[in-house]
Amino acid sequence: MDSMFEAKKWSTDEFFDENTREAARLTMNDENDMLAAFGSELSFGTGGLRGILGVGTARMNRYTVARATLGLAKYLISNKQEPSVAIAYDSRHGSVEFTLVAAQVLAKQGVKVYVFPTLVPTPMLSYAVRTLGADAGIMVTASHNPAEYNGYKVYGDDGCQITDHAADEITAQISQLSYTDAQLMDEDEARNKQLIVDIQDDVNKSFDQACLFCRPDPSVCTGIKVVYTPLHGTGLVPVREVLGHMQGVTVIELTEQCEPNGDFPTCKKPNPELDETLSMGIARARVEEADILLATDPDCDRVGVAVRTPAGDYHRLSGNEVGLLLMDYILRTRRSQGTLLNDAVVVKTIVTSDLAFPIAKAYGARIKEVLTGFKYIGEVIGELEKAGKEANYVFGFEESCGYLAGTHVRDKDGVMACMLIAEMTQSLKSSGLTVFEALENLYTAYGHMGTALMNYDIAGVIPMEKMQQTMARMRGAVPQTLAGQRITCIKDYLKSIDGLPQSNVLSYETENGLKAIVRPSGTEPKVKIYLSARGTSSEEAQKLIEMMKDDANMWMDVQ
């Protein structure tokens, strides 16, 4: 891509607003700045768009959003009669503007748009698409990324993030468009023509009720204290509403992090997987002597959890640990109530803990493995639905703190997850157990497993290219050992392993079950390596993990 040509066009064409033209001119003073802004185009994939806010073809701004939306509109018009789209947004900088731009572009093409009038969680957008019968959905969010990012996720009419095939077709439409092709209808005109309408509050209320309907045991009422933080995002209102319907649950809101704020002033990385993100919540939990801390990310599709230990301190649970605990709780509760079907299905991603297999087996359930990305879990629910076996779906989870127990939503749901975790905590407490003790019991029963996620940031002007080069290097220099053990099984998912779609993922496994899975992030410039090891004790498993970390660092040339 000719960065100089694009920068000149953006700096001189009066289609672009004055501030954009000036910002484009400034990038021309520094070759690296110009290349970073105009040296590539923000790629559209199954996750839609995600990038750093700013001027240029490689950044998130009103013009890249408008062009992508026009491509989506043309795709819908070619495949649907009188298409409609639901749009929601989170608390990030630019989210309101991008929502309105997308709505106006769609309206200009005659596509009806349903817009949430205030910020809401991602799972509520998935629910709205299904409830309103929309043909697509747009969620303006960058999930847990730092404040300088925003994004644009696209959903199909089933409430799942779009398939690879749909993403390819939309990308083909976008590639034929220039940025100046995207015209906007005046908002007042669009509303007068009923092409833009607000989504009514009854959708929010029915979403809350659908969550509560998924409770495994609504009769549980043991008293617990929960500290909750929405991390300056969208979760406060729906989580407050759902937990407020649960008898015995006292919720203490972390007021310092309740106000929606795209700067995320108290947590620079609003990722509930990180210890530092939960530090303020844990401090409050200590003061309150709370049973658990719950922290949802900005678009409230994921939840981080910290639990009280026997020593009175707090331990952050990994996404794997929370998922395994919820899986065991739901299966056990449904079996005791006689509602667990013979062919019960639990879905997990390939990078999620293999301890799920023996737990599922103990309850007569089966595990369905899918590629990384919750859309694949949603697709399995859709397949079960088409086969008349929707009720067989019990639970889906991924190691990155995403969970789903119902079928009314087809994406991970932080609101529902908060409800499930709170109920599980109540149930365990009624049996004289803490969540921490229940986790130890799981390890004793099914084996001790250590896991770790290694994130390797990829620097450079065009980092996505460097990520691909890193993966190519891994394929060219195949590792032979892992923690001193010989690697006996190598899987390259570009070759469509185990009947799964092709994916840029490499898996290495030893005879004793040590496993390392390598993949480029789909949302950030980084390579991820997922490590797992089983041992006779937690200490042994963790020792193996530490040895595997050294191997991973060597693969990534980290000293």
3-class DSSP state for residue 468? helix
- Which token pair is 314? 């707090």
- Which token pair is 86? 């639901």
Each as own residue / partner, the long-range contacts of residues 279-284 (CB below 8 Å, 24 or more positions apart, any chain) are 280/229, 280/254, 280/256, 281/227, 281/229, 281/254, 281/257, 281/306, 282/306, 282/314, 282/316, 284/227, 284/252, 284/254
Marked catalytic residue, from 11, 95, 143, 400: 143
DSSP assigned state of 17: -
| Measured distance CA(413)–CA(121) in Å, rounded | 8
Q: Burial-class residue 554 by CB neighbours within 10 Å (0-12, 13-18, 19+).
A: exposed
CA 476 to chain centre: 31
| Measured distance CA(146)–CA(92) in Å, rounded | 10
Q: In what order do the strands lie in the sheet with 84-89?
A: 49-52, 149-155, 136-140, 84-89, 112-115, 196-198
CA distances from 148 to 58, 262, 383 (A): 14, 9, 37
- Which token pair is 307? 């639990």
CA distances from 351 to 105, 135, 415, 451, 483 (A): 38, 31, 23, 10, 19
In a 13 Å sphere around the CA of 224, the CA atoms on its Cβ side amount to 32
| String of DSSP letters for 416-434 | HHHHHHHHHHHHHHHTT--
Beta carbons of 520 and 468 less than 8 angstroms apart: yes
Does the active-site annotation cover 532?
Answer: no
CA angle 411, 413, 415 (to 5 degrees): 160
Beta carbons of 346 and 327 less than 8 angstroms apart: yes
Spell out the SS3 assignment of 353-389.
Answer: CCCHHHHHHHCCCEEEEECCCHHHHHHHHHHHHHCCC
Beta carbons of 427 and 329 less than 8 angstroms apart: yes
How far the first Cα of the chain sits from its last, in Å, is 34
In 123-273, beta strands by DSSP E:
136-140, 149-155, 196-198, 224-229, 249-253
Nearest to 414 by CA among 147, 177, 228: 228
Catalytic residues: 143
